[in-house]
Amino acid sequence: MAEILNLLSYTFMQRAILCGIAISFSAALIGVILTLKNYSMIGHGLGEVGFAAICLAVAIGVSPIAFSIPIVIIAAIVIMFISQRKGESADIIIALVATGALALGVIITSFTSGFGTDSYNYMFGSILTMTKSDVILSIVLTILSIAIYIVFYNRLFLITFDEKYAKSCGINVSLYQFLIALITALVVVVGMRMMGTLLISSLIVFPAIIAKKFTTSFKGLVVMSVLTSVLCFLIGILVSFFLNMPTGAGIVFVYIVLLAISSVCCKLAKI
């Protein structure tokens, strides 16, 4: 316990925890909608787009986060638009975008200075390098996510479960699809610093999947998903510290263990 308290006394750790809780909160909120709408892998696709954007930003010498945000937002909107309007499977679109963006990132890197520290940190995550601006951006993102959920809760509920009925009720489904894409893109870009482009989708997928094993109501799923996400982050960051492993990998490890335990408990409860 003394070692943990000593660890929490460092400014970089305080920033990491604040950022991590905020990002985990936001990712869990948007993850519920994306999982129920079968867009759970969009986080992976946008993570690869973010990787390509970061490689290009590093190559031309501009801020990776500022450069990545508009590119990832555009990619999220394009994925949503094509899958909704053109009738294409979301999985196909995401797979095409992900592989294309990853290849582009590798090509950009091969023609420049190779995988530098910045590219490596964004690819695999480096939560201990969080800055004050990262903390502010994470908190603003969380406030925005919560505000959207509170103000548009009923509409988001309808759009998630029955888009046709939502349209018949006069709801502008396209507008809310844009909001969902916007929040998802921001979560991915901000979360890349913590989890890395390769693991950011885990923050979106795991909490909702685990929560679905314990509740069937939409509201209960949202609450359980948020609690699961924040708890796994806090345990994961401690595991990564004591086992000397990357933070993103530590968090995913905790998710996998919790998912396995919850699956076993659910099966035992049905016996």
DSSP assignment of 129-146: G--HHHHHHHHHHHHHHH
**pTM (2 d.p.):** 0.83
Task: Retrieve residue 161's tokens.
Answer: 């479960």
CATH topology of domain 13-270: ABC transporter involved in vitamin B12 uptake, BtuC (1.10.3470)
Longest dimension (CA), the chain: 60
Q: Which of 30, 75, 26, 28 is nearest to 50 (CA)?
A: 75
Q: CB-based contacts of 218: which residues, under 8 Å, 6+ apart?
A: 32, 157, 160, 161
Residue 196 DSSP SS3: coil
Task: Retrieve residue 212's tokens.
Answer: 């679905």
pLDDT of residue 227: 93
Task: Retrieve residue 229's tokens.
Answer: 């996400």
pLDDT of residue 89: 64
Q: How far is CA 62 from the centre of its chain?
A: 23
Residues of the chain with pLDDT under 50: none
Q: Which of 197, 234, 189 is nearest to 64 (CA)?
A: 189
CB 145 within 8 A of CB 183: yes
pLDDT of residue 255: 92
User: For 29-77, what is each residue's pLDDT tens digit?
Assistant: 888 888 888 777 787 788 888 888 888 887 887 877 778 888 888 888 8
pLDDT of residue 184: 85
Phi/psi at 151 (5° precision):
-70, -40
Q: From the CB of residue 119, how many other CB atoms can be counted at a distance below 10 Å?
A: 23
